[in-house]
């Protein structure tokens, strides 16, 4: 058997790290390092990232009537 890695298709395609833009690593996918991974987690835990809901938009509209 030959050791030809050119025929192996990766399960996940490499993409840019969402924090810094460097190529992602397999261990920290989709991030490039544990530092970028921790930065993203900190943003979620501190409330910097928020996922809105339709209920929020409805509540704002009811106060105007």
Residue 17 marked as a ligand binder:
yes
In Å, how far are 7, 31, 37 from 17, measured between CA atoms?
A: 25, 5, 9
Residue 23 marked as a ligand binder:
no
Residue 49 marked as a ligand binder:
no
Residue 32 marked as a ligand binder:
yes
The half-sphere exposure of 30 on its side-chain side, counting CA atoms within 13 A, is 10
Give, as one character, the DSSP assignment of residue 3.
Answer: -
Return binding residues for Zn(2+). 17, 20, 32, 36
Return binding residues. 17, 20, 32, 36
């Amino acid at each position: 058997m030959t050791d030809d890695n050119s025929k192996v298709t990766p399960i996940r395609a490499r993409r840019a790290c969402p924090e810094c833009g460097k190529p992602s690593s397999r261990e920290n996918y989709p991030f490039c390092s544990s530092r970028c991974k921790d930065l993203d987690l900190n943003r979620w835990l501190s409330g910097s990232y928020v996922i809105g809901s339709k209920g929020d938009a409805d509540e704002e509209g009811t106060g105007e009537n």
